Amino acid sequence: MTTTVASVTEGTDAPYALSHLDALESEAVHIFREVAGEFERPVILFSGGKDSIVMLHLALKAFAPAPVPFTLLHVDTGHNFPEVLDYRDRTVARHGLRLHVASVQEYIDAGKLRERPDGTRNPLQTVPLTERIQAERFDAVFGGGRRDEEKARAKERVFSLRDEFSQWDPRRQRPELWNLYNGRHAAGEHVRVFPLSNWTELDVWQYIAREGIELPEIYFAHEREVFARAGMWLTAGDWGGPKEHEHVETRLVRYRTVGDMSCTGAVDSDATTLDAVIAEIAASRLTERGATRADDKMSEAAMEDRKREGYF
């Protein structure tokens, strides 16, 4: 039973419709330009992972033919994949960008952070990140977080105000209406900005394929020495694995996410091309984080708790 009361123009999906990728791209570009127009010292968090790579690509398109009016910031856990660091440095050089690096290892060496018994450095990123934000007086910090990743992130705003301690209070968020983003903040506060909020993992991959964006090779299937821990394939290395009872084997794997080697697992895969990766993700019955992130399994609210402290 349909009642059309006034005239609704039918069939207007063509020719004035955008594909969903164009709509998401247009929205993300709008967000980048809003930040450029309203903030003094924005920075893009850049890890060399696919989400931050897509962010940088969007920023390049948003301001072309002018250069990206932002610097980059990488929080180096000290346990990053060498291929990813190499990709990071090549990208920075190619686009003439400026990169800040905040180092977890330096904090540990200086006694300001202590290694966790489980060897995971992901939660340790928060302190170097937030201290660097304060030291550089960044007022807008772009992150590649997506709301489809995790249920605490489903509650995240596109513009997310953080206090002078970089804390997130999910109960005191500004309502976000239409595409009117409110970036007002006091001195010392900053705004986390998530241009990919409305993208899903599959959107990111489709966009990478459509735009022909280069990625670090660990996203594609390759033979690698790994060992099993907590139901995941971890890369053997100086960071702390394998332990005596853990057995190293060579497997054909790839990564769905790129993070700290101590908590980012590989998945068995023979997908060596973008097309194959997209087909594999579309058929997967596991979320990206469920498949490959140990730190999200620590408690039911692990992500929410870390985000409250200043994590992305």
Partner 1 sequence: MTSTTEPYAEFAERLATTTLLRFATAGSVDDGKSTLVGRLLHDSKSVLTDQLEAVERVSLSRGQDTPDLALLTDGLRAEREQGITIDVAYRYFATPRRRFILADTPGHVQYTRNMVTGASTAELAVVLVDARNGVVEQTRRHAAVAALLRVPHVVLAVNKMDLVGYAEPVFTAIAEEFTAYAASLGVPEITAIPISALAGDNVVEPSAHMDWYDGLTVLEHLETVPASHDLAHCPARFPVQYVIRPQSASHPDYRGYAGQISSGVLRVGEAVTVLPSGRTSVIEGIDALGESVDIAWAPQSVTLRLADDVDVSRGDLIAPSGQLPPSTQDVEATVCHVADRPLTVGQRVLLKHTTRTVKAIVKDIPSRLTLDDLSQHPAPGQLVANDIGRVRIRTAEPLALDPYAESRRTGSFLLIDPADGTTLSAGMAGDAFAEGAGAAAVPADEEGWDF
Residues 62-91 that bind partner 1 (CB under 8 A): 62-67
Nearer to partner 1, 84 or 232 (CB): 232
Distance, first Cα to last Cα, the chain: 46
> Given the rule CB under 8 A, which of 10-18, 122-130, 218-226, 244-252 is the region that contacts partner 1?
10-18
- Pick from 136, 176, 217, 309 the residue near partner 1 by CB under 8 A: 176
Interacting residues with partner 1 between 283 and 312 (CB under 8 A)? 283-287, 290-291, 300-301, 304
Q: Please report whether residue 51 would count as binding partner 1 according to CB under 8 A.
A: no
Among residue numbers 194 through 233, which ones bind partner 1 (CB under 8 A)?
Answer: 197-198, 200, 202-203, 206, 209-210
Please give the Cα distance from 283 to 47 (Å, whole number). 27
Long-range contacts for 155-160 (Cβ within 8 Å, ≥24 apart)?
A: 156/194, 156/197, 156/307, 157/194, 157/197, 158/31, 158/193, 158/194, 158/195, 158/197, 159/183, 159/191, 159/192, 159/193, 160/191, 160/192, 160/193, 160/194
Positions 20 through 39 that interact with partner 1 (CB under 8 A) = 20-27, 29-30, 33-34, 36-37
User: If binding means CB under 8 A, how many residues of this protein chain bind partner 1?
Assistant: 84
Site for partner 1 in 102-131 (CB under 8 A): none
Is residue 139 at the binding interface for partner 1, with CB under 8 A as the rule? no
Considering only 93, 135, 230, 282, the residue that binds partner 1 (CB under 8 A) is 282
Task: Give the binding range for partner 1 (CB under 8 A) out of 76-84, 127-135, 152-160, 260-268.
Answer: 152-160
Q: Which two tokens stand for residue 26?
A: 């247009």
Contact 83, 217 (CB under 8 A): yes
Pairwise CA distance, residues 156 & 306, whole Å: 13
User: Angle 209-66-50 (CA atoms, 0-180°, nearest 5)?
Assistant: 30
